[in-house]
A and B are shown apart, each in its own frame.
Chain A
Amino acid sequence: QQQVKQSPQSLIVQKGGISIINCAYENTAFDYFPWYQQFPGKGPALLIAIRPDVSEKKEGRFTISFNKSAKQFSLHIMDSQPGDSATYFCAAQGGSEKLVFGKGTKLTVNP
């Protein structure tokens, strides 16, 4: 089934805290898992992406953890900042060119 389930729907963290967003998928043909950041009125921007041959990828304060057997992946934002406040979408692709998006998580980082 072409579906990616994302949670939580919204998340509030304090400045300096860790933000964690989780996604789960069913389709084992998926082999590319990107995360996108979207600010209001703007298009999504690629944050970080992973392929299933690795279990973790880190870029600055952003880390993707990938669990192939559980078909789950998550985004960790370390030292969260107010400027990180945005909507985050996980996505998956494989078997076709289409990206399948999660429903999004609205992150609010309080100062």
Chain B
Amino acid sequence: GAVVSQHPSRVICKSGTSVKIECRSLDFQATTMFWYRQFPKQSLMLMATSNEGSKATYEQGVEKDKFLINHASLTLSTLTVTSAHPEDSSFYICSARSLNYGYTFGSGTRLTVV
């Protein structure tokens, strides 16, 4: 079956620093990748949609300069949280879409900014 690997699973960083989260589709090529943010006991909130080689499309209210998305290949997308602040602490989840497997989600990254 389709597997999406997301790293790291947990990260603690200091306020003002940047953090990069990686999302890889291991055994398939993804036509589109998605980044979500999830607050405790809430649903997934779509942050952005990205396609390989093109700029990400951000949802309304998401700061594109704070949440940098790079979709370098059909199997890799990265989310960089720049100049992180405590309010950026959250659970971040990526998803990869393919024609054969539909939407496959990564295991998530718990970001804590101290």
A and B form one complex:
yes
Chain B CB within 10 Å, residue with most, of A44, A45, A98, A106: A44
Interface of B is mostly: strand
Known: A43-B93, A43-B108. A99 touches B42 (CB 8 A): no
Across the interface, do B107 and A101 meet the contact criterion of CB distance under 8 Å? no
Closest Cβ neighbor of A89 among chain B residues = B43
Q: Given the complex, which residues of A lie within 8 Å of B102, measured CB to CB?
A: 32, 34, 46, 49
Across the interface, do B110 and A98 meet the contact criterion of CB distance under 8 Å? no
Tell me how far the C-beta of B45 lies from the nearest C-beta in chain A, rounded to whole angstroms.
9
Closest Cβ neighbor of B45 among chain A residues = A101
Q: Given the complex, which residues of B lie within 8 Å of A101, measured CB to CB?
A: 43-44
Across the interface, do A43 and B105 meet the contact criterion of CB distance under 8 Å? yes
Number of interface residues of A (CB under 8 A): 20
Number of interface residues of B (CB under 8 A): 22
Judge whether B104 is part of the interface by a CB distance below 8 angstroms: yes
Judge whether A111 is part of the interface by a CB distance below 8 angstroms: no
Tell me how far the C-beta of B104 lies from the nearest C-beta in chain A, rounded to whole angstroms.
7
Q: What is the CA–CA distance of A44 and B87 in the complex, to the nearest angstrom?
A: 23
Across the interface, do A44 and B46 meet the contact criterion of CB distance under 8 Å? no
Tell me how far the C-beta of B53 lies from the nearest C-beta in chain A, rounded to whole angstroms.
16
Q: Given the complex, which residues of B lie within 8 Å of A36, measured CB to CB?
A: 105
Residues of chain B having any CB pair with chain A under 8 Å: 4, 6, 32, 34, 41-44, 46, 49, 91, 93, 95, 97, 102-108, 110
Residues of chain A having any CB pair with chain B under 8 Å: 32, 34, 36, 41-46, 49, 89, 93, 97-99, 101-104, 106
Show 6 residue pairs from A and B whose CB-CB distance is below 8 angstroms, ordered by the A residue.
A32-B102, A34-B102, A41-B108, A43-B95, A44-B93, A97-B49
Q: With A43-B6, A98-B49, A104-B42 given, can you name 11 additional A-B contacts, CB distance below 8 Å? A: A34-B102, A34-B103, A41-B108, A42-B107, A43-B4, A43-B93, A44-B93, A99-B95, A103-B42, A103-B43, A106-B41
